[in-house]
Amino acid sequence: MNKTYINGVGCISTQKTFDTVFLEEAIYDNNKTVLTIIPPVYKDYISPAASRRMAKGVKNGIVASALALRDAKVENVDAIITGTGLGCIEDSEKFLKNILDNNEEFLTPTSFIQSTHNTVGAQIALNLQCKGYNFTYVNGAVSFESALLDAKMQIEENDANSILVGGIDETGDYTISLFKLAGRVKDESNLPADILNSTSSGAIYGEGGAFFVLEKDKKETTYAEVLDVAIKNTLDISEIEDEIAAFLSTNNLQVSDIDALVLGFNGNADSDIYYKTISEKAFAATPQLYYKHLSGEYDTASAFALWMAAKIIKTQEIPEIVKANSIEKPAYKTILLYNQLNGKNHSFTLISK
Domain ranges of the chain: 5-215, 228-352
The pLDDT-based confidence of 3 (bands split at 50, 70, 90) is very high
Rounded average pLDDT over 68-86 = 96
pTM: 0.96
Residues 6+ apart with CB under 8 A from 58: 88, 114, 119, 120, 123
The strand pairing partners of 33, in sequence order, are none
Whose CA is closest to 100, among 174, 172, 169? 174
Q: What is the DSSP string of 120-188?
A: HHHHHHHHHT--SEEEEE--GGGHHHHHHHHHHHHHHTTS-SEEEEEEEE---HHHHHHHHHTT-BPPG
The pLDDT value recorded for residue 217 is 93
- One-letter amino acid for residue 290 of the chain: Y
Quote the CA–CA distance of 208 and 306 in Å, as a whole number: 13
Report whether pLDDT(204) > 90.
yes
Sign of CA dihedral 217, 311, 82, 68: negative
Task: Dump pLDDT digits (tens) for 273-320.
Answer: 999 999 999 999 999 999 999 999 999 999 999 999 999 999 999 999
CB < 8 Å & 24+ apart, contacts of 188-196: 188/33, 191/30, 191/31, 191/32, 191/33, 192/30, 192/31, 193/30, 193/31, 193/33, 193/267, 193/293, 194/30, 194/267, 195/30, 195/265, 195/266, 195/267, 195/290, 195/292, 195/293, 196/265, 196/290, 196/324
Residues 249/207, Cβ–Cβ less than 8 Å: no
Report whether pLDDT(112) > 90.
no
Rounded average pLDDT over 129-137 = 96
What is the Cβ-side half-sphere exposure of residue 297, based on CA atoms within 13 angstroms? Answer: 26
Report whether pLDDT(190) > 90.
no
The pLDDT value recorded for residue 55 is 87
Rounded average pLDDT over 45-56 = 88
The pLDDT value recorded for residue 109 is 83
The pLDDT value recorded for residue 104 is 86
Q: For the packed helices 269-280 and 240-250, what is the interaxial angle rounded to 10 degrees?
A: 60
Report whether pLDDT(122) > 90.
yes
- One-letter amino acid for residue 82 of the chain: T
Q: Please indicate whether the domains covering 5-215 and 228-352 agree at the CATH topology level.
A: yes
Q: What percent of the chain has pLDDT over 90?
A: 86
The pLDDT value recorded for residue 124 is 95
The pLDDT value recorded for residue 108 is 82
Rounded average pLDDT over 252-262 = 96
Q: Mean of the per-residue pLDDT values for the chain?
A: 94
Quote the CA–CA distance of 202 and 180 in Å, as a whole number: 8
The pLDDT value recorded for residue 105 is 85
What is the Cβ-side half-sphere exposure of residue 242, based on CA atoms within 13 angstroms? Answer: 5
Give the class (CATH, top level) of 5-215: alpha beta
Whose CA is closest to 143, among 160, 123, 162, 120? 120
Report whether pLDDT(340) > 90.
yes
Whose CA is closest to 112, among 135, 134, 136, 96? 96
One CATH from 3.30.460.80, 3.40.47.10, 3.40.640.10, 3.30.390.50 for 228-352: 3.40.47.10
Whose CA is closest to 144, among 83, 87, 86? 83
